[in-house]
């Protein structure tokens, strides 16, 4: 479960980064091509809606992560798939602990 959650969080961040790159390419491309500001505006509006939905999905995923962590603490479960070097805000900065037989997420 922790590995799936971590993978989902990373996928959401990669998606947001791709949207950011798209926005940059759109703006730079329009200027470079000498197109009027109206060019691509409707598409840009839809991309902004998609970004907003992606940010909401990220927020909900983080909330789910927090809920799972609270449940784990209440049940006395201490386990994380946090990768080496990955830290959490307000966390101890410790590397993740993976039980024997755990197959790490492919990089």
In this predicted structure, what is the pLDDT of residue 107?
A: 36
- pLDDT band at residue 102 using 50, 70 and 90 as cut-offs: very low
Give me the mean pLDDT over the 74-94 stretch.
65
Per-residue pLDDT tens over the stretch 72-82? 889 998 766 55
CA-based end-to-end distance of the chain: 18
The secondary structure element, H or E, covering residue 46 is helix 41-75
Per-residue pLDDT tens over the stretch 16-59? 999 999 999 999 999 999 999 999 999 999 999 999 999 999 99
Residue 96 has pLDDT above 80, yes or no: no
- pLDDT band at residue 92 using 50, 70 and 90 as cut-offs: low
In this predicted structure, what is the pLDDT of residue 77?
A: 86
Residues with Cβ within 8 Å of 65's Cβ and at least 6 positions away in sequence, in order, are 5, 9
């Amino acid at each position: 479960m922790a590995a799936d959650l971590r993978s989902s969080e990373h996928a959401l961040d990669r998606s947001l980064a791709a949207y950011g790159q798209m926005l940059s390419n759109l703006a730079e491309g329009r200027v470079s091509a000498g197109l009027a500001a109206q060019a691509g505006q409707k598409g840009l509006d839809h991309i902004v809606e998609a970004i907003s939905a992606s940010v909401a999905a990220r927020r909900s995923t983080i909330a789910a992560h927090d809920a799972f962590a609270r449940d784990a603490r209440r049940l006395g479960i201490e386990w994380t798939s946090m990768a080496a070097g990955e830290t959490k805000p307000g966390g101890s900065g410790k590397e993740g602990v993976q039980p024997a037989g755990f197959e790490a997420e492919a990089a």
